A and B are shown apart, each in its own frame.
Chain A
Amino acid sequence: MTKTRQDLAWQELEIGATLITPGNSCEYKSGDWRSIRPVVDNKKCVRCGTCYIFCPDAAIHETEEGFFEADLYYCKGCGICANECPTQAIEMVEEEE
């Protein structure tokens, strides 16, 4: 895990404050921003991958069965996937408190 913001002493920074763990932003839970979340109806899904390719947050992945599901750790709930789905298989539903 990357050291959190409060922990880093100046001596622990890499030279030039270079970041040496590629892609460690995946530790950051951007899913906390979400107020609505996508729910996929696999009966309607034609497994085209439209939702996957248009997700700005790389938060949709293909399951072993070839369906697609959102990774709620990252999904910000923008609704692009539901809006672009050619078979309207995705519905955005309110997050419950």
Chain B
Amino acid sequence: MGKRIGLEVSLSAAEAVKMANVDCIAAYPITPQTHIVEHLSELVNDGELDAEFIPVESEHSAMSVSAGASAVGARAFTCTSSQGLSLMNEIVHIVASMRLPVVMILANRSMSGPISIWNDHTDVMSIRDCGWIQVFANNGQEVFDHVLFGYKVAESQGVMLPLIINIDGFILTHVIEPIEFWEKEQVEQYLPDFEPIHTLHPDRPVTMGGVGMPYVFSEAKVAQDEPLKQSKSVIISAWKELGDIVGRYYSPIETYRSGDAETLFITQGSYGETVSLVVDELRDEGKSVGLVMDRLWRPFPFDEFREATGQTRNLIIIDRAISYGGQGGPLAIDIRSALYKEKNQPNITNFICGLAGRDVTIDDFKNIYHKAMQKVKKHPREEDFEYYGVRGK
């Protein structure tokens, strides 16, 4: 077992990047991602990590440099938040289509405007359809583990897709948590060297990023989406292998006291831990409540959700992003769609809350539970959603 130390989650994320023996780090500073790259530049400049640290002039170039590095066969890392993600958006999509297994930590922060540095999921949801594998980490340990997991999955021969690790800005990035480091041998056992399929090298000239005329574009897109869908089995076995090595087992969704629950909360990211406390308190009050935490966002774990929610009467889906003019938050939209063909469709309530770091406390979640129960009583089939805690509503 590795040593266990108290460390800021951002620093431990950087330490995990070091353990992954990353070759190329290109990043541009943006709050709340900064501590990760600051520490990485320290590790490089102190000679603790043999990598090229490229302090680019923008996030657009951060992702472009990562693309170039990955294309020559280097293990590339970058991280960003909100506006930075927006600026690199164009290249984020292209990196997926070129099947370059870059790993990125996204320190989730709300999208302007109004400008805000605080946490929600509006940034990642803006690139939901970018073609990357996307996971959410619930705590610092998960962040650490998922950096190594990220490269293992992204660089798997049948996958070769970039991967995003979402971590809640400030709520995770800036807190000190006990982190269990991996032993060097464990990393070596788990994560092989990056063996790319095609690279840019004069001995084997290839052309990457050619023009997709209408007669080949759709084929190229299917050739991109199929491995993303099929990556789920690789993801699950990579989690299994991780568990066998370090003793922490992960799955596409995590459940908590959900087996017999009439009502299930569904969360993404660090809210899961808060809601698990709420579940305990509500259970103490005699309520039949459980929790499902979504860890894997893309490819979306449809089967796992169907299985976990199939016998449930009510779902309370907590979204931290908006689909403007749409039917609630992105998580609720996908879950509704997952359950469309089910015989026993649960009542679905959807609350959008915690935008730009507004606190959502245990009492708030209890309040959400009671509101949901009232809604279900009044309009069991209404597919409405609510901005929780917004003045004037």
Contact = CB atoms under 8 A, between A and B. Distances in A.
Whether the complex brings A and B within 8 Å at their CB atoms is answered: yes
Contacts of B212: 17
Contacts of B216: 5, 8, 13, 17
A93 to B, nearest CB: 34
A15 B197 contact: yes
B223 A22 contact: no
A26 interface: no
A92 B85 CA distance: 55
A15 B215 contact: no
Contact of A17 (B97, B100, B160, B215): B97
Contact of B198 (A5, A6, A10, A20): A20
Interface string B342-376: 00000000000000000000000000000000000
A63 interface: no
Contacts of A14: 198
B175 interface: no
* Range, interface on chain A: 10 to 19
Contacts of B222: 10
B220 A18 contact: no
B100 A13 contact: no
B86 to A, nearest CB: 24
Nearest to B212: A17
Nearest to A19: B207
Contact of A16 (B198, B215, B226): B198
A51 B168 CA distance: 64
Which of A8, A10, A19, A22 has most chain B Cβ within 10 Å? A10
A9 B206 CA distance: 20
B18 interface: no
B99 interface: yes
Given A10-B223, A22-B205, A22-B207, A15 B99 contact: yes
Given A10-B226, A14-B198, A19 B220 contact: no
Main secondary structure on chain A at its contact with chain B? loop
A10 B206 contact: no
* Range, interface on chain B: 20 to 34
Interface string A1-40: 0000110111101111111101000000000000000000
Contact of B220 (A5, A17, A22): A17
B57 interface: no
Nearest to A25: B207
B219 interface: yes
A8 B97 contact: no
B98 interface: yes
B115 interface: no
A15 B160 CA distance: 8
Interface in B77-110: 97-100
Contact of A9 (B97, B197, B208, B219): B219
Contact of B207 (A10, A13, A18): A18
A22 B198 CA distance: 13
A20 B198 CA distance: 9
A5 B216 CA distance: 7
B197 A13 contact: no
Contacts of B206: 18-20, 22
B208 A16 contact: yes
B219 A15 contact: no
B47 interface: no
A20 B218 CA distance: 20
22 contacts: A5-B213, A5-B215, A8-B216, A8-B219, A9-B219, A10-B219, A11-B223, A13-B220, A15-B197, A15-B198, A16-B97, A16-B98, A16-B198, A17-B212, A17-B220, A18-B98, A18-B207, A18-B208, A19-B207, A19-B210, A20-B206, A22-B207
Interface of B: 97-100, 160, 197-198, 205-208, 210, 212-213, 215-216, 218-220, 222-223, 226
What 10 A-B pairs have minimum CB-CB distances, sorted nearest first?
A16-B99, A19-B207, A10-B219, A10-B222, A5-B215, A22-B205, A16-B98, A10-B223, A17-B220, A18-B198
